[in-house]
């Protein structure tokens, strides 16, 4: 087995760098350091923790050009989207610095005691297992609340963004954070289970595939350790009969192509009632054809390459299999000539149950359009999935759409007349095989704390 991890530029297929895999001695030092740092960090008042978080945000903004270009090189992110991602990390750190003390303040409860209250206390070292698609955001949206709550973090990042992983650790140190507040370990997936088994690891947070989440949950459950799992998604957007199709198409294209379609909460299935199906299909396909793909360093490129060749090929097989089962290809659906792992914007219509485009997550710039007989049938189709991460309702009747979003659509985030996206102010997470637990908002900071009852007679 190789003792290095390799980063490959997905736009060119050329090797960028290799990184030596950390041995067990390095892992032991990191875990020991994290425990030492935790004992010191947990004692700091909120004001001092907030000061460190704000300094990390400043360092992110200072280093934004370098951070963005590295992400473009390692995973092909379109450069303008990279700048947005980096700023979102900084603003989330600022958010928890400003609000963490309020979220974690003692809650007095009147009982027969002289004094009784709920106190939120940190748990220890949180192991963060993170994916490549948002190499900074996925890390900092977990890091900011966990660390503001008094925990420390060990990061096991995706192997193809090892450069980003190491830069995150260095950036946090350069911002004046104590050594061990976040440490990056470069290890293969095969060694994660042993790390979870370590009694000094208090909890685990993972963003990734449903299959990966299941394995991590099994290991963490065996050790009775808290987990937050944000897993796959196949978000359905329901286009109702009264939808403004100009708005619907704009939302659909933006939602499908964010991060070149490589997002767990990207719009993936478009469930359209029969009366507007053909017109939506025509307009949506026209706009998807206009979406430019190419060099992710070029600001004109709306879509970059997919992160790896194998991921591109897997998506292409799902598209071909869906066509073989009766789906109609309206655009895209081919592997371009030349280097890199590019895939064009692809639209499949006449998608039915039993096709990969209906049953599986399409992780890339490929969209499935599904016809529904009416509103009731559309909601049935939208919920006919193993996933439950996000979803949308597009309608001029906001009151009706809101009721459907709140009460009928089965997902952790349901948006009306917009595409699903995360916001530091709001909780984020899924149901069913999209995982459990919540990140962000006040709910996110309460995931990795001991919710302790204090009772004074």
Catalytic residue IDs: 230, 264
Q: How far apart are CA 429 and CA 301, in angstroms?
A: 30
| Helix residue spans in 104-155 (DSSP H) | 137-148
391: exposed, middle or buried (C-beta count within 10 Å: 0-12, 13-18, 19+)? buried
CB 343 within 8 A of CB 316: yes
- Backbone φ and ψ for 118, nearest 5 degrees, come out as -100, 130
Structure tokens at 449: 């704390």
323: exposed, middle or buried (C-beta count within 10 Å: 0-12, 13-18, 19+)? middle
CB 96 within 8 A of CB 67: no
Beta bridge partners, 115, equal 456
C-beta neighbour count of 47 within 10 angstroms: 10
Q: How far apart are CA 390 and CA 371, in angstroms?
A: 20
CB 264 within 8 A of CB 421: no
CB 129 within 8 A of CB 208: yes
| Helix residue spans in 154-273 (DSSP H) | 162-174, 192-197, 210-222, 245-257
How many angstroms separate the first and last alpha carbons of the chain?
Answer: 61
Residue found under tokens 């004992």? 39
- How does strand 346-349 pair with strand 449-456? unpaired
Q: DSSP readout, 321-354? A: HHHHTT-EEEE--SPPSSSS-----EEEES--TT
Cα of 276 vs its chain's centroid, Å: 32
- Backbone φ and ψ for 394, nearest 5 degrees, come out as -115, 115
Q: What Å distances lie between residue 455 and 59, 101, 121, CA to CA?
A: 42, 22, 15
């Amino acid at each position: 087995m190789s003792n290095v991890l390799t980063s490959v530029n997905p736009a060119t297929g050329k090797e960028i760098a290799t990184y030596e895999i950390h041995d067990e001695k390095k892992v032991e030092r990191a875990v020991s350091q994290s425990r030492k740092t935790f004992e010191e960090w947990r004692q700091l008042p909120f004001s001092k923790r907030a000061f460190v978080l704000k300094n990390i945000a400043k360092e992110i903004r200072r280093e934004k050009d370098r951070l963005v270009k590295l992400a473009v090189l390692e995973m092909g992110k379109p450069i303008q989207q990279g700048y947005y991602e980096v700023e979102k990390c900084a603003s989330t750190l600022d958010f928890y610095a400003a609000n963490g003390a309020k979220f974690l303040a003692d809650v007095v409860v009147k009982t027969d005691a002289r004094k009784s209250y709920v106190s939120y206390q940190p748990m220890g070292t949180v192991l963060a297992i993170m994916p490549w698609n948002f190499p900074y955001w996925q890390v900092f949206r977990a890091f900011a609340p966990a660390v503001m709550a008094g925990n420390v973090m060990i990061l096991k990042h995706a192997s193809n963004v090892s450069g980003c992983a190491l830069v995150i650790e260095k950036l946090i140190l350069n911002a004046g954070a104590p050594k061990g507040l976040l440490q990056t370990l470069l290890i293969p997936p095969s060694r994660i289970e042993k790390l979870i088994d370590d009694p000094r690891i208090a909890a685990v947070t993972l963003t990734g595939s449903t299959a990966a989440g299941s394995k991590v949950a099994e290991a963490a459950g065996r050790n009775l350790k808290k987990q937050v799992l944000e897993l796959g998604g196949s978000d359905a957007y329901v286009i109702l009969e009264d939808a403004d199709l100009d708005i619907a198409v704009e939302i659909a294209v933006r939602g499908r192509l964010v991060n070149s379609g490589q997002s767990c909460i990207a719009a993936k299935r478009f469930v359209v009632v029969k009366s507007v199906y053909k017109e939506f299909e025509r307009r949506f396909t026209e706009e998807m054809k206009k979406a430019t793909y190419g060099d992710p360093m070029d600001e004109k490129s709306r879509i970059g390459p997919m992160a790896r060749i194998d991921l591109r090929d897997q998506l292409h097989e799902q598209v071909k299999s869906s066509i073989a089962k009766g789906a109609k290809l309206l655009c895209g659906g081919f592997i371009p000539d030349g280097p890199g792992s590019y895939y064009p914007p692809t639209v499949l219509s006449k998608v039915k149950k039993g096709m990969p485009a209906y049953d599986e997550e399409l992780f890339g710039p490929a969209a499935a359009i599904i016809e529904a007989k009416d509103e009731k049938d559309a909601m049935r189709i939208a919920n006919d999935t193993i996933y439950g991460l996000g979803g949308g309702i597009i309608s001029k009747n906001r009151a009706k759409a809101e009721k459907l979003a709140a009460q009928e659509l089965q997902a952790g985030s349901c948006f009306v007349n917009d595409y699903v996206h995360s916001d530091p102010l709001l909780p984020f997470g899924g149901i069913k095989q999209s995982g459990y637990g919540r990140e962000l908002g006040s709910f996110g900071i309460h995931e990795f704390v001991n919710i302790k009852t204090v009772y004074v007679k």
